[in-house]
Chains A and B, each alone.
Chain A
Amino acid sequence: MVDHKECSLLDEHIASNQRKVSLTCVVNGVEICDTIDPTMTLLHFLRDRLKLFGTKESCGEGECGACTVIMNGKAVTSCIILAIEADGAEILTVEGLAKDGRISILQEEFISEDALQCGFCTPGFLMSTRALLDRNPDPSEEEIKEALAGNLCRCTGYLPILKAVKKAAERERKELK
């Protein structure tokens, strides 16, 4: 329970606007400079400020992975990262996966293996997988499960996702040499 009295300074804070901080980062290859409230999460920065709605909010507590983005090469849950922590960072979201008007091999395999149903968890799975294949182009089944177990999906039962990741890894090794 929150003690309401303790929050009585809040309006003053909002009014004074003193707490705003400036943030510079690179998102999907584009440099972004913004002034934000320090309480803003990275997820809400991406969605509310940059209007990149591909990254989803589902649990808000890092338990489901729907908000996964790649930050400085690592897959992270953006719902429990402050946007200001991304100052100076390089961020990749689902919107940055397709290049030159073509969707990536990974995205193609998610489609052809039907590794998605409602699609709400899909951006998170794609980002976790992208980070995995970037550090390990030939992951074992166990390594795939380890990397993706933090992403929850209620629709697919995961088997189609596992297959899509394996096929994408194989194709990337062949086609992206």
Chain B
Amino acid sequence: MDHSNYQTDYKHVGQPYSRKDAQKKVTGQAQYAIDLDLPGMLYGKWLLSPHARAKILSIDTSAAKALPGVKAVITGEETDILVGLYMQDKLAMAKGETRYQGEVVAAVAAVDLQTAEKAISLIKVDYEPLKPVLDVDEALDGDILVHEDINELKHVEGVFFPQKDSNIASLNKAKRGDVDKALQEADIVVESEFSLPAVAHAPMETHVTIVQADPYSNRIVVWSSAQSPFALRQMLAHSFKISESDIEVNIPFVGGAFGGKAGIHLEPLATLLSKAANGAPVKLIPTREEEFNQLPTRAGMRGHIITGAKKDGKITAVKVVYDWDSGAYADYGVNVGKTAVYSGIGPYDIENAAVVSKTIYTNKVFSTAYRGFGHLETHWTIERQMDIISQKLGIDPLDLRMKNLLEPGSRTISGELISESSGSVKDCLAAVVKEIGWTGRKTEEERRKEWATGKVRGKGFAVLQKAPAMPANTSTSVIMQMTGDGRVKMMIGAIDYGQGANTTMAQIAAQELDLPIDRVEVVENLSTQTNPYDWNTVASKYTFMGGNAVIRASRDMLRQMKDIAAQVLHSTADHLAHGGGYIYHIHNPERRIAYEQLALGYQYPDGSGIGGPLISHGVYMADGLTNLDHETGQGKPALVWTFGAHAVDLEVDVETGSITILKVASAFDIGQVINEKLIYGQICGGVLQGLGSAILEGYKFSPDNRLLNPSFTDNKIPTMKDMPIEVVPIYIENPQKNGPYGARGVGEHPMISVPSAVGNAVYDALGINFHVLPLSPEAIVLGILSGKESILCTDVNCLPGCY
């Protein structure tokens, strides 16, 4: 990709600048939480429950406490610290009962890791193993409750809806029109079920956390590999019943996040250890195994979908139920479940629709946010179903989609009006099918001919949509200061964990202030002590929201400069303009003052000064969003939709089941490219992560719900040999009126619908509809051997954990 191909009328917006922190990262200077080495620091280790569900009968820590070098030993018995994002359902450590294999039962802090590990090995726990709730079916039976106190659990009311005496952490729903009537009147009704297993985020840096908790006051200092410093501060304050201002959260460089580092994770445990160790800083470094089986994952999901259509392909009704296997605790899982409602029928205009989404407790490692926030999963259901409908109707899947996709004037299931400014999913789909040369599905005869060669090509595509999943009042803020030499330093509330927020924001400020990019800097390594607030660095929202905030901060700074310059130049601010590092008079550009002369206040020749150091700020709050009505799901949840489409060209080895991805074309209506180099990275990375979900990844559990693959040995992620031969990114630019320069976010979208497009291409190749992920070589071969046209989990010998 030649990143410079992308031209715009803007000087900085649209430029493919290299990321600002790249040099630190290629020289080993970038410091991550794992690299921090504080004076007097202790190392924590913890003991995990080996049982999916068990009573803790007794814990003997005496030998651990007696080990030289051990400074603190704690168990759940000694603390009641509740941790909960939306549901207050989790204790910092298990107490009385463990709810998943991998839950923390006891922890130690010691002078070094080896001593800590030794101490853990000396702790003896007596468990009484209990029958676990294995999967969503058992959970929905409700014979055993994962949380017996579900009726009393505190939660965010009016947004999440735990069901009485059940394992349903939240039931959310939406409806539009009369779906049952429309199904009766449809020419064809198609009913299907799709499923996929839990998948690991697998950031290269695990959830490393250091906490120093002052034993003489409420003060807590955190250094963490986290993506949501302000949410973390808020929740930690809530858990320990202290003020947010008592807490300082520092985020150094973060080694990957993907949603898994949103919210709060090991910080409460580290706080308890630090307190117990008389205030020494305590560092927790989860091993890769702990990253897999203790820290949260993407939920497994089962989607049941019934669609009604007319013969001409007009879809008149859709009814979907999503069951999320969300594990032992709700975390962000309930919000994923909620999002599945208002985005649960995909980017289609369907007059009669009903979606029910259940976030379900089971005795497994719990789930949280994951790049795409449920959309990869829901689109696996929606977009495979569209392909099956097209098969049944004998209509080209492209035509079927085009007939039903959202367009200006359409309304989403929650009643939001789509306008010209919303972007075009049709443009995206048209672009990707063109790129792979789609001419319709192959015929049975063509398929047979190719089959004889042992390798069959297939093409498929899928559309996608996603809006930021966030509270209706989400906000962000930026502080901008000018140094004495006329350079700009910005503090933002977001974390740059590799998506490039710092570079993008610098570009926007450079554009607004008309400064060279190297004169604008976003301060790295956020601290809640100095940086201004942002809700969470999640949801592909930051380019939009942060970008708008930076524009406002820049314009605020320009206004301040003009106010002072107006006095100096004996003019008025509205006669002044800016450019090239100067404030100048619009009619007489020679009458000008350089930024640096204003930066710390203007000094007259006699030595006196006016103005003062330039500091500006910008805020952006989501505008016009509302909560959703619980019964109907109607409301305004989406700040901005980003639409997209993928098309895949692949080849299946029909004997071994291996799939070769020849080409992926991916189009997104991002409104305006701000930095093509960074977007290209998001697309390549997201597409491969999506391919991981499509053909490789997934948790496997034993019959008693122990995780069988808690390592990279058996929980694989794609390597360089597994990337597609070709990835073609396509940027559609229908501007978003309220976006910065018309831009929309695209961080998560490259991952969404990749499995759907692959599944559709596999159908094109084999004439077999797979309803289960991953489409591993084994699943493909067992699917073929089964002789069936539709392959469900039971057909491919799946272990528990996949449906």
- The finding on whether chains A and B are genuine partners in a shared complex, rather than unrelated, reads yes
Interface residues of A (CB under 8 A from B): 2, 4, 7, 10-11, 14, 39, 47, 51-61, 63-64, 66, 93-95, 97-98, 103, 107, 110-112, 114, 116-123, 126, 144-146, 148-163
Are A122 and B25 also in contact (CB < 8 A) when A2-B121, A152-B719, A160-B680 are? yes
Residues of B within 8 A of A122 (CB): 25-26
B256 adjacent to A118 (CB under 8 Å): yes
The listed residue (A66, A95, A97, A112) touching B204 by CB distance below 8 A is: A66
Interface residues of B (CB under 8 A from A): 1, 3, 18-19, 21-32, 34-35, 37, 63, 67-68, 114, 118, 121-122, 201-206, 253-258, 285, 287-288, 497-500, 677-678, 680-681, 683-689, 711-713, 717-721, 723, 727
A160 adjacent to B498 (CB under 8 Å): no
Q: With the chains together, A7 CA to B27 CA distance in Å?
A: 41
Are A39 and B114 also in contact (CB < 8 A) when A59-B288, A119-B21 are? yes
Residue picked from B23, B67, B258, B285, most chain A C-beta under 10 Å: B23
B204 adjacent to A162 (CB under 8 Å): no
Are A63 and B26 also in contact (CB < 8 A) when A114-B680, A156-B685 are? no
A27: min CB distance to chain B, Å: 13
Residues of B within 8 A of A4 (CB): 63, 121-122
A55 adjacent to B28 (CB under 8 Å): yes
Given A54-B27, A117-B681, A118-B497, 11 other A-B residues pairs in contact with their CB atoms under 8 A: A56-B204, A60-B288, A61-B712, A119-B255, A120-B32, A120-B256, A122-B26, A155-B256, A155-B498, A158-B723, A162-B720
A58 adjacent to B288 (CB under 8 Å): yes
Q: With the chains together, A14 CA to B688 CA distance in Å?
A: 47
Are A111 and B204 also in contact (CB < 8 A) when A156-B681, A160-B680 are? no
Q: Can you show 16 pairs from A to B with CB atoms below 8 A apart?
A: A4-B122, A53-B37, A57-B34, A58-B204, A111-B19, A114-B18, A114-B19, A118-B203, A126-B26, A152-B204, A154-B202, A155-B498, A157-B689, A158-B688, A158-B719, A159-B684
Residues of A within 8 A of B203 (CB): 118, 120, 154
Residues of A within 8 A of B122 (CB): 4
A162: min CB distance to chain B, Å: 7
B26 adjacent to A118 (CB under 8 Å): no
The listed residue (B1, B35, B205) touching A58 by CB distance below 8 A is: B205
Residues of B within 8 A of A149 (CB): 719-721
List the A residue with the shortest CB-CB distance to B690.
Answer: A157
A45: min CB distance to chain B, Å: 14
B721 adjacent to A153 (CB under 8 Å): no
A111 adjacent to B18 (CB under 8 Å): yes
Residue picked from B29, B34, B206, B684, most chain A C-beta under 10 Å: B684
B28 adjacent to A123 (CB under 8 Å): yes
B717 adjacent to A11 (CB under 8 Å): no
B26 adjacent to A111 (CB under 8 Å): yes
Residues of A within 8 A of B25 (CB): 116, 119, 122
The listed residue (B19, B678, B686) touching A157 by CB distance below 8 A is: B686
Residues of B within 8 A of A154 (CB): 201-204, 256, 258, 685, 689, 717
Q: With the chains together, A63 CA to B31 CA distance in Å?
A: 23
Residues of B within 8 A of A63 (CB): 288, 711-713
Residue picked from A53, A56, A57, A154, most chain B C-beta under 10 Å: A154
A103 adjacent to B255 (CB under 8 Å): no
Give the 10 A-B residue pairs with the shortest CB-CB distance, closest first.
Answer: A54-B28, A120-B255, A117-B498, A119-B25, A157-B684, A118-B498, A63-B712, A157-B688, A53-B35, A94-B28
Residues of A within 8 A of B24 (CB): 119
B688 adjacent to A116 (CB under 8 Å): no
List the A residue with the shortest CB-CB distance to B689.
Answer: A154
Residues of B within 8 A of A117 (CB): 19, 256, 497-500, 681, 685
Q: With the chains together, A155 CA to B114 CA distance in Å?
A: 32
The listed residue (A51, A53, A56, A158) touching B205 by CB distance below 8 A is: A56
A41: min CB distance to chain B, Å: 11
List the A residue with the shortest CB-CB distance to B201.
Answer: A154
The listed residue (B67, B721, B723) touching A11 by CB distance below 8 A is: B67
Are A98 and B204 also in contact (CB < 8 A) when A4-B122, A117-B685, A158-B720 are? no
Q: With the chains together, A156 CA to B719 CA distance in Å?
A: 11
B721 adjacent to A145 (CB under 8 Å): yes
A158 adjacent to B684 (CB under 8 Å): yes
B105: min CB distance to chain A, Å: 15
Q: With the chains together, A158 CA to B688 CA distance in Å?
A: 9
List the B residue with the shortest CB-CB distance to A52.
Answer: B28
Are A61 and B713 also in contact (CB < 8 A) when A120-B205, A152-B719, A153-B204 are? yes
The listed residue (A58, A114, A150, A157) touching B723 by CB distance below 8 A is: A157
Q: With the chains together, A21 CA to B25 CA distance in Å?
A: 34
B18 adjacent to A59 (CB under 8 Å): no
The listed residue (A51, A112, A144, A157) touching B685 by CB distance below 8 A is: A157
A123: min CB distance to chain B, Å: 5
The listed residue (A2, A11, A144, A161) touching B68 by CB distance below 8 A is: A11
Q: With the chains together, A177 CA to B627 CA distance in Å?
A: 65
Are A114 and B68 also in contact (CB < 8 A) when A155-B685, A157-B687 are? no
List the B residue with the shortest CB-CB distance to A37.
Answer: B114
Residues of A within 8 A of B686 (CB): 157
Residue picked from A14, A63, A117, most chain B C-beta under 10 Å: A117
B271: min CB distance to chain A, Å: 24
Q: With the chains together, A61 CA to B680 CA distance in Å?
A: 31
Q: With the chains together, A144 CA to B721 CA distance in Å?
A: 9
Residues of B within 8 A of A114 (CB): 3, 18-19, 22, 677-678, 680-681
B31 adjacent to A53 (CB under 8 Å): yes
List the A residue with the shortest CB-CB distance to B285.
Answer: A57
Q: With the chains together, A14 CA to B67 CA distance in Å?
A: 12
The listed residue (B202, B287, B718) touching A60 by CB distance below 8 A is: B287
Q: With the chains together, A97 CA to B27 CA distance in Å?
A: 7
Are A107 and B118 also in contact (CB < 8 A) when A114-B18, A118-B203 are? no
B27 adjacent to A95 (CB under 8 Å): yes
B26 adjacent to A103 (CB under 8 Å): yes
Q: With the chains together, A123 CA to B253 CA distance in Å?
A: 14
Residues of A within 8 A of B254 (CB): 118
Q: With the chains together, A39 CA to B63 CA distance in Å?
A: 23
Residues of B within 8 A of A98 (CB): 27
A4: min CB distance to chain B, Å: 5
Are A51 and B37 also in contact (CB < 8 A) when A59-B711, A120-B32 are? yes
List the B residue with the shortest CB-CB distance to A142.
Answer: B721
Q: With the chains together, A85 CA to B288 CA distance in Å?
A: 24
Residues of A within 8 A of B257 (CB): 118
B537: min CB distance to chain A, Å: 12
Q: With the chains together, A135 CA to B118 CA distance in Å?
A: 43
A112 adjacent to B28 (CB under 8 Å): no
Q: With the chains together, A82 CA to B205 CA distance in Å?
A: 22
Q: With the chains together, A94 CA to B258 CA distance in Å?
A: 26
Are A148 and B720 also in contact (CB < 8 A) when A60-B287, A111-B18, A120-B204 are? yes
List the B residue with the shortest CB-CB distance to A118.
Answer: B498
A103 adjacent to B27 (CB under 8 Å): yes
List the B residue with the shortest CB-CB distance to A54.
Answer: B28
Q: With the chains together, A102 CA to B718 CA distance in Å?
A: 33
Are A160 and B689 also in contact (CB < 8 A) when A60-B288, A61-B711 are? no
A119 adjacent to B30 (CB under 8 Å): yes
List the B residue with the shortest CB-CB distance to A64.
Answer: B712
